[in-house]
Structure 1
């Protein structure tokens, strides 16, 4: 067999799925596992969305669509973004993608040539760095600091920019930290982006899962359309992870290239899923807000639980359904600690280094699970830490 391409060595596998596989194997061996590893809502997709999908299937909407998605959904997304961001967005500036991951992949491919640099505040979702490397770009990470609530320093972002910088990728609300970027920090990012003619790729997939009465601050509302690519989707807010549907908002010439990438890889999103997504945007939104309310209650619970564990400390996540406790006081690498908790305590979670080297000393815990599971998992962790580290 011929040798595989060297670029494949740069394309990494998302750690959550590796840990999930390990956990499932332990379950097959008869061990009970508490799952905190996967960032997947544990709520069903709202019924009116499912009914819309059924209706589309009954009507025979099962064929190919345009690579950029059906016009009706692009129009609905444009209307939603225009209203929520206060910026006029046209359907031709919208591409419906096969999940938000396709949006990340296609957007970076659209801009990067080999050797181009991408500034990435980290720890963050690993696909940004992985795709950058895969296409020959150079990721330049800037550490997100706990004392700042995991919002990036505009000054540090600016100092990371060079003549080779082509893009800055931001994720707010953020995975894995649960942090929300401040308006001032986003403004500082755009100050350098406009001055140096750099695109800001803003992943806002968790925009609705935000707590304490706070409102999402979108990059598109602060920056300008010519320097912004906005990523979003249906997986998190509407509990539609398996439906695989996202969106990219970009200037028309960029949107055309994103659609071209999708055409040459996945052809188009599933047609009946797109009709269901129209129903998601049109509402009702009651189920979304019920989910967010429950996530906030779980956030409060896990905040109390984590901070009661010796050697653990955590700031209260402002958004998402992730806790990101600091475990550096235990004096063990986060990857080793995560393995020990899985194999010895029966708790599956992720080391902070799954989200970049800057995540060392942290763990990521998904609280997209029941309060009962949270209590059970936290007790196992507490008992384990007291036994091994007291």
Structure 2
């Protein structure tokens, strides 16, 4: 109860704040000004146009660029049919088309010990926007967030953004232990201003898959520290090897979990830009603290995913 009270106290600081104030944090990480896409753009601009050899991109994973990778024709037909009705050329509801929210909740519920409701699901413009919303809600002067090293640089970019007061602190993944989280290092990094830990499972870039037991330890560590878990699961079910994929939301009764995902990777359609942010929190801590209201406030001012893609979600899943 003491740890739950600490978490509630921290989250209560993240009330809805519609005003974009200019704030300053001397501890913010700024090293992520260099991105993979930026490097690729620079390389492309400096290529010798007279050299006709093909260029192979190794820095941006988009399987749809190759003819051997293609999504299901069932999904393609669903999109075509939705377009031809002319019913879905309109703006989307702020939090997503209700049938799509319900479909994603049903899809995720297959692997959970409790049931998500459609109201736990918020549709976003790809998983990238889900990351941005999550960190925007957590941002406040002096706050810090724990992110994996190696990891996905977009978290550091948003933490260091001009509108986000978040210091990015890096914890290590242990190569000698199948890239497990260094939990001792996490406990050493965290302090009273730590608000969340990010995990990426299956891992990017390492491709590791955390075991049930390790995820449970992560949940208990986060609970003891009074922080939430942001679980980037965009590669869910793309797990290779003997360790089965387990969603972090399984442990939502131990610690509140923000689960992030999209249709981009598993269904080979990154250009369709449909992602989600899901609150896995059967104890209602995120709701009672005002955290969910802050998510809604951010989405009220955000761009929304394409409507006709949303209405096809149940067919795609």
| TM, length-normalised to structure 2 | 0.80
Q: 1:254 to 1:239 in 2, by over 3 A?
A: farther
Whether the 8 Å CA contact 1:153–1:185 is kept in 2: the answer is: no
| Helix, strand or coil at the partner of 2:202 | coil
* Partner Cα separation in structure 1 for residue 29 and residue 138 of structure 2: 21
Q: 1:53, CA displacement in angstroms?
A: 1.1
Q: Which residue of 2 aligns with 1:183?
A: 212
Q: Which residue of 2 aligns with 1:244?
A: 273
* Pick aligned residue for 1:258 from 284, 289, 295: 295
Whether the 8 Å CA contact 1:99–1:233 is kept in 2: the answer is: yes
* Partner Cα separation in structure 1 for residue 294 and residue 269 of structure 2: 26
| Helix, strand or coil at the partner of 1:177 | coil
Whether the 8 Å CA contact 1:95–1:255 is kept in 2: the answer is: no
Q: Which residue of 2 aligns with 1:324?
A: none
What aligned pairs does 1:365-376 form with structure 2 within 5 A after superposition?
Answer: none
Higher normalized contact order (CA 8 Å, seq sep 6+, divided by chain length): 2
Q: Give per-residue Cα distances to partners, 1:339-359, cap 9 Å, x unaligned.
A: xxxxxxxxxxxxxxxxxxxxx
More helix by share: 1
| Helix, strand or coil at the partner of 1:147 | helix
Whether the 8 Å CA contact 2:233–2:261 is kept in 1: the answer is: yes
**Residue 105, structure 1, aligned to residue 112, structure 2:** no
**Residue 206, structure 1, aligned to residue 235, structure 2:** yes
Q: 1:206, CA displacement in angstroms?
A: 0.5
Q: 1:238, CA displacement in angstroms?
A: 0.3
CA-based RMSD of the aligned residues comes to: 2.5
Q: Which residue of 2 aligns with 1:128?
A: 155
Q: Which residue of 2 aligns with 1:279?
A: 315
Q: Which residue of 2 aligns with 1:356?
A: none
Whether the 8 Å CA contact 1:154–1:186 is kept in 2: the answer is: no
Q: 1:217, CA displacement in angstroms?
A: 1.7
Q: 1:256 to 1:6 in 2, by over 3 A?
A: closer
Which one has the largest radius of gyration? 1
Q: Which residue of 2 aligns with 1:19?
A: 39
| Helix, strand or coil at the partner of 2:186 | helix
Q: Give per-residue Cα distances to partners, 1:320-345, cap 9 Å, x unaligned.
A: xxxxxxxxxxxxxxxxxxxxxxxxxx
Whether the 8 Å CA contact 2:146–2:168 is kept in 1: the answer is: yes
* Partner Cα separation in structure 2 for residue 238 and residue 231 of structure 1: 16
* Partner Cα separation in structure 2 for residue 35 and residue 120 of structure 1: 26
Q: 1:100, CA displacement in angstroms?
A: 0.4
Moved more, 44-53 or 99-108: 44-53
Q: 1:128, CA displacement in angstroms?
A: 1.2
**Residue 227, structure 1, aligned to residue 253, structure 2:** no
Question: Unaligned stretches of 5+ in structure 2?
Answer: 1-21, 280-285
What aligned pairs does 1:274-353 form with structure 2 within 5 A after superposition?
Answer: 274-281=310-317
Question: Unaligned stretches of 5+ in structure 1?
Answer: 282-390
Count of equivalent residues: 277
Q: 1:45 to 1:219 in 2, by over 3 A?
A: same
* Pick aligned residue for 2:75 from 35, 46, 49: 49
| Helix, strand or coil at the partner of 2:209 | coil
Q: Give per-residue Cα distances to partners, 1:125-184, cap 9 Å, x unaligned.
A: 011122122201111111112112211122222222111111111111111111222333
Q: 1:14 to 1:79 in 2, by over 3 A?
A: farther
| Helix, strand or coil at the partner of 1:185 | helix
Q: Which residue of 2 aligns with 1:192?
A: 221
